[in-house]
Chains A and B, each alone.
Chain A
Amino acid sequence: MVLALPPTRLPESAESLRAEVRQFLTEQDFVPGVDTWLSSFDPEFSRRLGERGWLGMTWPKRYGGHERSALERFVVIEELLAAGAPVAAHWVADRQSAPSLLRFGTEGQRQKLVPAIARGECYFAIGMSEPDSGSDLASVRTKATRDGDGWRLDGTKVWTSGAHHCHYMIALCRTGPDRHGGLTQFVVDLAAPGVQIRPIELLTGEHHFNEVVLDNVYVPGDQLLGTEGDGWKQVTSELANERSGPERILSTAQLLIELARYAETARDTRTLATLGGLFAQMWSIRQLSLRVAGALDRGASVEVEAALVKDLGTRFEQEVVDAVRVVLAGNVDPDGRAAALLTHAVLHSPGFTLRGGTTEILGVIVARGLGL
């Protein structure tokens, strides 16, 4: 067998934790949505999660974390996503920025930023893609030049989700000519002089994406993240670890639950078979995702498996949209919840297989892992 991770079992503590999250969710006032980790930005909600100890779950207590296992975090975030809760504000900071700070950052950076992230008060944007650098991320041109003890940044980052609400962005910049060895990450204060944030509207007209122009922005030396020249290594480990989580399966869960609601009364063959087929997909891919989560928890390297889960999961998220459309569109109240979720999901679905590594890039990673 080429890929053989053992099955993962959730810890005993998962059940009571899951019940707590479900109870919490019933007490919250939000409109459940699809793709909420991109589009439902709600700082109040994020702060309440912080109060409950559901941000920074796996981090050391001395940085405001809760020293719980990655599998316990898996349980919390899958419950939030399945409920369509508004988790966009803290999403990037909790999933990847703070873990990067903890792994590569200085003691000062950790103390300054990580506890605020764990409280749900400090939000981060991803400064990777540029107008001419998408899948070929190593070709980024945003330049960092030394200026005394600090650095000057010049360049443009794009598709920067939530930058207009966030406090910081971790920017991947060029500090030398070497394709991979000349890259360095910086923590950029988005309120710093010279930072301009301009909306890039989604095809719906919604404002989540931004263009972040860095025009001679001064970044103090102590905001370099990790080691100069290690940016590529840092960024790829960041990507591998964020690929296989529940958000790659559950972006359209609320729409699927609407189909289940429709099936309660419409028990025709097509509806039932569609519901059963989509459940089979969701359940099976979640089992694979759990294995990867278990392996990550043990500290194993799972780049290939994580890429597989993301590919299967994000294509499934799109499949939900299309399969539910075939059954529901035109058969439900046009002003009702199901119609609204379906419309939103159709318009958001192209992004599922693009963000965090396109389907095609994932294919390359998997093929390489298989020795091709």
Chain B
Amino acid sequence: MSDERELLAGTVTELLTDHCGSDRVAAADGGWDEALWGHLERAGLTGIGIGEEAGGSGGDLADAAVVARLCASFAAPVPIAPTLLLAPWLRTAAGLGHRAGPAAVAGEPGVTAVRGAGGWTLRGMARAVPWGRCATGVLVLVSTAEGLALVDADEAVVEPGVNAAGEPADTLRFDGIRVPDEMVRPVTTDLLEELRLRRALATTVMLAGALDRVLELTRRYVGERVQFGKPISSFQLVKQKVAVLAGEAAVAGAAADAAVLAVAEGSTDAAPAVLAARVRAARSATAATAIAHQLHGALGFTREHRLQHFTRRLWVWRDEGGTEGGFQEELGRVLAERGAADFWPTVVRAGT
């Protein structure tokens, strides 16, 4: 990490240590922590990766990923992933200006827009939109008579929903909502495809962050928990399981970093890199949560223990924006189309 990035990581860690303890995470279950968002915003951390000229705090995608990953490692109940990793890129790609405040992105086109005098009228709904209720502006993909468009919507009717991790996943209804012309931009289906990959990237970064914490919690717990008169970490089987957990966290972290770099640099092999990292991080989530719960015993299976803040998120995030099997198959199709002779060259080109 560059010195600046390390400084950034230190700032974020300090802020989250002060304002995102497990009591705060527990209290925000089913909703979000507006006070924490305020702290992040005042520190300029919700504008990382957005140019200063556009009203952001500067930095690049890799910096934004550092902030998001650390937030995930504290199970921060705030819409950091859409705000830092999805919305700024999507706005730029569609030609919409930057907009401060928490963001949400409704990616599946289930909403239509009809042009009228002086603006557009929306109809339809988007379901299970992550952090939908928190957003000051929702980016909605809509179908129009001319094709796809991206709408920057100020308002929507929110029907609150919650995912298994206790995070907002709301239904947003847009029936009759009117938006001015300048908030609607035509987009191509390619952008929809890119958005799917961006979501996969954002999810990967978040998975890596939660995995970091699951390893740390487990490492500490097995050293403290005494059975048969000694810490359970003195048992070979326990050591072996923690070692496997460490590998799962490390490989997911390395994959996430490499995928971020591939996207940040506009690599022509960013798609296989992101898909590979997404698949590998989901696999780590499955392996790591199983080991962590096994080693935490009944205590880790309770609401009271902090472990569930991370394992529930890992379980939800690994299925977000597509299935693990679907991503594997999609990646396999890319490789099959390139052919066997390009298999190894793709491993290399998609890497750092």
Q: Are B344 and A312 in contact (CB under 8 A)?
A: no
Contact of B239 among A2, A273, A312, A363 (CB under 8 A): A363
Binding-face segment, B38-46, B112-120, B250-258: B250-258
- Residue B331 lies at the interface, judged by CB distance under 8 Å to chain A: yes
Q: Are B255 and A283 in contact (CB under 8 A)?
A: yes
Interface residues of A in 312-368 (CB under 8 A from B): 312, 360, 362-364, 366-367
Residues of B within 8 A of A83 (CB): 344
Q: Are A308 and B250 in contact (CB under 8 A)?
A: yes
Known: A7-B258, A288-B250, A308-B246. A276 touches B351 (CB 8 A): no
Interface residues of A in 269-322 (CB under 8 A from B): 269, 271-277, 279-288, 290-291, 305, 308, 311-312
Question: By the criterion of a CB under 8 Å from any partner CB, how many residues of chain A are at the interface?
Answer: 54
Residues of A within 8 A of B258 (CB): 7, 283-284, 287
Residues of A within 8 A of B255 (CB): 280, 283-284, 287-288
Residues of B within 8 A of A283 (CB): 255, 258, 272-273, 276-277, 280, 347, 350-351
Q: Please report whether the interface of chain B is mostly helix, strand, loop or mixed according to DSSP.
A: helix
- Residue A203 lies at the interface, judged by CB distance under 8 Å to chain B: no
By beta carbon, the residue of chain A nearest B338 is A260
Q: Are A286 and B340 in contact (CB under 8 A)?
A: no
Binding-face segment, B77-85, B139-147, B211-219: B211-219
How many contacting A-B pairs (Cβ < 8 A)?
183
Q: Are B276 and A367 in contact (CB under 8 A)?
A: no
Q: How far does the alpha carbon of A3 sit from the alpha carbon of B257 in the complex, in Å?
A: 14
By beta carbon, the residue of chain A nearest B278 is A280
- Residue B229 lies at the interface, judged by CB distance under 8 Å to chain A: no
How many of chain B's residues touch chain A, expressed as a range?
35 or more
Q: Are A7 and B254 in contact (CB under 8 A)?
A: yes
By beta carbon, the residue of chain A nearest B277 is A284
Q: Are A258 and B1 in contact (CB under 8 A)?
A: no
Q: Are B335 and A311 in contact (CB under 8 A)?
A: no
Which among A10, A82, A282, A286 has the highest number of chain B CB atoms within 10 Å? Answer: A286
Q: How far does the alpha carbon of A192 sit from the alpha carbon of B283 in the complex, in Å?
A: 53
- Residue B247 lies at the interface, judged by CB distance under 8 Å to chain A: yes
Q: How far does the alpha carbon of A277 sit from the alpha carbon of B247 in the complex, in Å?
A: 17
Q: How far does the alpha carbon of A2 sit from the alpha carbon of B273 in the complex, in Å?
A: 24
Contact of A279 among B219, B252, B278, B347 (CB under 8 A): B347
Q: Are B233 and A367 in contact (CB under 8 A)?
A: yes
Q: Are A276 and B331 in contact (CB under 8 A)?
A: yes
Contact of A273 among B250, B253, B328 (CB under 8 A): B328
- Residue A240 lies at the interface, judged by CB distance under 8 Å to chain B: no
- Residue A31 lies at the interface, judged by CB distance under 8 Å to chain B: no
A1-19 vs B, CB cutoff 8 Å, 1 = contact: the mask equals 1110011111000000010
Q: Are A290 and B335 in contact (CB under 8 A)?
A: no
Q: Are A276 and B330 in contact (CB under 8 A)?
A: yes
By beta carbon, the residue of chain A nearest B232 is A372
- Residue B68 lies at the interface, judged by CB distance under 8 Å to chain A: no
Q: How far does the alpha carbon of A6 sit from the alpha carbon of B261 in the complex, in Å?
A: 12
Residues of A within 8 A of B222 (CB): 372
Contact of A267 among B240, B261, B333, B351 (CB under 8 A): B333
Residues of A within 8 A of B275 (CB): 276, 280
Residues of B within 8 A of A277 (CB): 279, 283, 328, 331-332
Q: Are B246 and A366 in contact (CB under 8 A)?
A: yes
Q: Are B280 and A363 in contact (CB under 8 A)?
A: no
Residues of A within 8 A of B351 (CB): 283, 286-287, 290
Contact of A285 among B223, B251, B334, B352 (CB under 8 A): B251
Which among B222, B325, B352 has the highest number of chain A CB atoms within 10 Å? Answer: B352
Known: A263-B335, A308-B246. A372 touches B251 (CB 8 A): no
Q: Are B239 and A260 in contact (CB under 8 A)?
A: no
- Residue A371 lies at the interface, judged by CB distance under 8 Å to chain B: yes
In the complex, besides A263-B336, A275-B331, A371-B219, 7 extra interface pairs with C-beta distance below 8 angstroms are A257-B343, A272-B328, A280-B276, A280-B277, A280-B279, A367-B233, A372-B238
25 contacts across the A-B interface (CB closer than 8 A): A1-B212, A7-B261, A7-B352, A253-B344, A257-B343, A258-B340, A260-B339, A260-B340, A272-B336, A274-B328, A276-B327, A277-B283, A277-B328, A280-B255, A280-B331, A283-B272, A283-B273, A284-B252, A284-B255, A287-B251, A311-B243, A360-B236, A364-B243, A367-B239, A370-B246
Sorted from nearest, which 10 A-B pairs have the closest CB atoms? A272-B332, A276-B331, A276-B332, A367-B239, A366-B243, A261-B340, A280-B279, A363-B243, A284-B255, A276-B328
Taking Cβ atoms with an 8 Å cutoff, the residues of A that contact B are 1-3, 6-10, 18, 78, 82-83, 253, 256-258, 260-261, 263-264, 267, 269, 271-277, 279-288, 290-291, 305, 308, 311-312, 360, 362-364, 366-367, 370-372
